[in-house]
Chains A and B, each alone.
Chain A
């Protein structure tokens, strides 16, 4: 009974922690399915986190609670605009996508703190407004599932789950999704079939930017409440979740929740006596180690997009 008590208390935190991971990993999914590796997710999340913090602190006096939603929208927009840098470099200028993504991470980390210092004086932006967790009416009374999934939930959680469902539909049930995936598997063939590979890859990268920006904003308005120039490696954890989830929407959902749960356990292990016997290192390093292991085990049967990370040069067929 004690274990159940503990799990039901940790679960809402684990869900809240997983949601930004889910958003960023879904972003990565769009980009990589179109054939562009985006290790700039971390930086794009920082951009979203920053823009959301600034927007909310500026608009809060006039808009009140609605400022949060405007902040989320602005964060997604900022992520999208910032990802254009990555798109131009890796699609038009034939840059190495990993270098370009790294540059995005570095520019984002430095530029946002630079701007934050000129705006607030310190490198941090604190917000006094955020989403308040709520219990879903009726459903939170359902035994077992109620306390786990419908208690203390955030609005962003439901938003992101809706985006997940939509993404599955877009990728597998629409013409756009089929074309996007074709560009990630075999761009030359896609081109021969009349698909504009450049356009599809732009779409993939820009969507990933918007979702990563949204992810950074989600961190801010749910559990962090402060911009401080970093998202503490969550972007890379999302990348791991994308790989561990085998580049599939539902796989990603499972992977992000699994990683989020591990991280939450590690965070609370000091205060929960039952967990203090598990070393924090094991819990924190576990997602990365298990992703490495998965890569080894599935190295023969990997579902990675075939042209992932390859420069598309229409002149080379």
Chain B
């Protein structure tokens, strides 16, 4: 019953988001049916575009899992953007300095990006556990510290040949893109990160449902005081949960900066961090839900460019739809009330 309720909430929020998009299209005098058909065709019409959708969904899946993992422990980390940046910085730094065969290079990059994210996630976790500093505030601060770190580190140490505002391009042997995968998907941005994301989704599901660690983390999320009474070390679990969440976001950074992209631009706070919040909310914090939500947002993101090229509708409609979906997912109590009213009426009849 709970699963059905979550599905209803997610679908209602997604529907309202799309409806808001349709109204906006109408407001500027465009045809919504035409707009949406281009939007979805832009994300799905051929293997290349499907590949791009999957590549976008890769990063979103990982940031979504990062958010969901922290949520399950009752923590509200919005630090995925900063952790992504740190994971990305480490990936780019290794890619530009190490000279190893690809088979050795990629595991090292992924492991180090994960570690960087984990360390950057552990900081708010430790501050929360030890000093009771609210994780929302500390992660906001850390996001901006990461932002400025990139802003000054990249031009100083990893500058591109001509541009001051981005890093040099990573060599082929440091990229998650592999010829056979690129070939199958007609030259799209898809890369090995897609397997990393699927692997992480499965692993997260297993950890949460089958291990003692997962049980303890969820117990802390359900009721912190009860968990403490039952002998669970609450501070340790909080710090651990945010570190794992950070590790996932760090991997997301690697899949974006050395997978989807080939370099790192400065002065950009990656939007995937906050989109991860939308993914986790819409996916009701379950790994399967996260993957599905990430695919949906992947379509919106990779289709919006095509839509704006074919119509007069600006591409920001995609981001607006996502934002409206978050808003309605946050106000899900509305749909829960509707659902409860509907289901009680249904039960009376039966």
A residues contacting B by CB (< 8 A) are 37, 39, 85, 88-89, 93-96, 98-100, 102-107, 109-111, 113-114, 117-118, 123, 233, 236-237, 239-240, 243, 279-281, 284-285, 288-289, 291-292, 295-296, 299, 309
Contacts and interface: CB of A to CB of B under 8 A. Distances in A.
A135 B152 CA distance: 36
A281 B154 CA distance: 11
B333 A296 contact: no
A279 B153 CA distance: 10
Contacts of A280: 148, 151-152
B330 A236 contact: no
Nearest to A232: B267
Nearest to B29: A118
Interface stretch (B139-147, B206-214, B222-230): B139-147
A188 B330 CA distance: 24
A289 B24 contact: no
Contact of B137 (A104, A118, A243, A279): A243
B310 interface: no
5 contacts: A102-B326, A107-B323, A281-B149, A295-B133, A295-B138
A106 B141 contact: no
Contacts of B145: 285, 288-289
Contacts of B133: 292, 295-296, 299
B240 to A, nearest CB: 20
A288 B123 CA distance: 14
Interface in B31-48: none
Question: Could you say which interface size class chain B belongs to?
Answer: 35 or more
A93 B336 CA distance: 11
Contact of A89 (B140, B141, B320, B331): B331
Contact of B320 (A88, A96, A111, A281): A111
B136 to A, nearest CB: 5
B306 interface: no
A293 B22 CA distance: 46
B136 A98 contact: yes
B144 A233 contact: yes
Contact of A292 (B127, B314, B332): B127
Interface string B113-146: 0000000000000010001111011101111110
B131 A114 contact: no
Given A96-B76, A102-B326, A114-B314, A240 B141 contact: yes
Given A117-B316, A118-B314, 14 more contacts: A39-B140, A85-B327, A95-B331, A102-B274, A102-B277, A113-B314, A118-B28, A236-B140, A279-B152, A285-B148, A285-B149, A288-B142, A291-B141, A292-B141
Contact of A239 (B140, B142, B316): B140
A279 B322 CA distance: 38
Contacts of A296: 127, 131, 133
**Which 10 A/B pairs are nearest by Cβ-Cβ distance?**
A106-B323, A110-B319, A103-B327, A99-B330, A117-B314, A281-B152, A114-B316, A107-B323, A93-B331, A299-B131
A105 B274 contact: yes
A284 B152 contact: yes
B281 interface: yes
A281 B149 CA distance: 6
Contacts of B324: 103, 107
B138 A89 contact: no
A107 B324 CA distance: 7
Contacts of B327: 85, 89, 100, 103-104, 107
A96 B285 CA distance: 15
